[in-house]
Amino acid sequence: MKLLWDSALGLLIVTGGLLGMTLPFGKLATAAGVPAMVWAFVISLGAGGVLLLALLLRGERIRLTAHKLRYFFVTAAVSYAFPNLLMFSAIPHLGAGYTGIMFTLSPVITLVFSILLGVRRPNLLGVVGIAVGFIGAVMVALTRGEAGQPADYFWVAIGLLIPVSLAAGNIYRTVDWPEGTGPIELAVGSHLASATLPLVGILTLFGWQALAPLGGVPLVVAGQVASASAMFAFFFRLQAVGGPVYLSQIGYVAAAVGLFAGTIFLGEHYQLLTWLGAAIITAGVFITTKAQSQPSMKMQSQAA
């Protein structure tokens, strides 16, 4: 366990795999009539509650400061509540596998944000990776979901907002990480904060009766809470070990899980162009990852 806790690659595979399970769980829940906002609430409350219990059993406490409160609620909104709402709203229209492909764009968009915000300057390889990823994204977007069931472009746009929100969260969590705070404490605080956001929306728009469909899928709820709790414990550790761009690659693993789970277990079918676009996006991800180990254009010109 300690070896995994210190391994960026191991954390990436485990975290991405657990994230990918959210896609088929989400499709099963929404198909049973659970509103997207309610499912987002279940994930955050379940993960936050389980991790809080683990934290207390270890004899630790959350020591609130103004900085931590800001971090909890900004992270909650940008990294969890908003992308989860988008994801579970889009899955019934796009399919679990197609929606999962959107996660693969997160590394490319994270790099774009890093460049725009001055976190990292671009180099030629990074620009090439962004361009390749964009081409793959256009190809995937044109297929508009499952084969023979093209979704409205509105839902494709909603799906494309998922990696934008995730990328913004990747940058924010690194830039504003509270000094001296452990990953479990941040996971607990962020998810409990995240649970409050959809809860307000649920009570305002639907009332408590919106929670009733959860009674029809108890095993799906249990599976989702278990996988989400484990995933977010590893998620913040991966953030600390690997950094924001490396962390964003969990989308590649999650997309693979979502695509194969959707195809094998949920009966989804996708066009060849969708698979080809996903492969091109993956190539773009590997190129942008390689770019992280190379100097920026400015540094290269100075060296020359």
Task: Read off the pLDDT band of 31 (50, 70, 90).
Answer: very high
CA distances, 201 to each of 27, 78, 196, 197, 204 (Å): 21, 16, 9, 7, 5
Task: Read off the pLDDT band of 159 (50, 70, 90).
Answer: very high
pLDDT in tens, 61-118: 888 899 999 999 999 999 989 999 999 999 999 888 888 888 878 877 887 887 787 7
- Going by C-alpha positions, the residue among 234, 246, 239 that lies closest to residue 75 is 239
Domain residue ranges in the chain: 2-295
Instruction: Give the model's pLDDT for residue 304.
Output: 31
Instruction: Give the model's pLDDT for residue 5.
Output: 75
Are the C-beta atoms of residues 39 and 91 closer than 8 Å to each other? Answer: no
Between 183 and 223, the higher pLDDT residue: 223
Mean pLDDT taken over the chain: 84
Say which range, 9-13, 17-21, 41-45, has the weakest mean pLDDT. 9-13
pTM given for the model: 0.78
Task: Read off the pLDDT band of 300 (50, 70, 90).
Answer: very low
Task: Read off the pLDDT band of 140 (50, 70, 90).
Answer: confident
CA distances, 83 to each of 161, 191, 301 (Å): 8, 13, 39
Instruction: Give the model's pLDDT for residue 294.
Output: 65
The CA distance from 46 to 158, in Å, is 25
Say which range, 17-21, 199-203, 253-257, has the weakest mean pLDDT. 253-257
pLDDT in tens, 252-262: 788 788 888 88
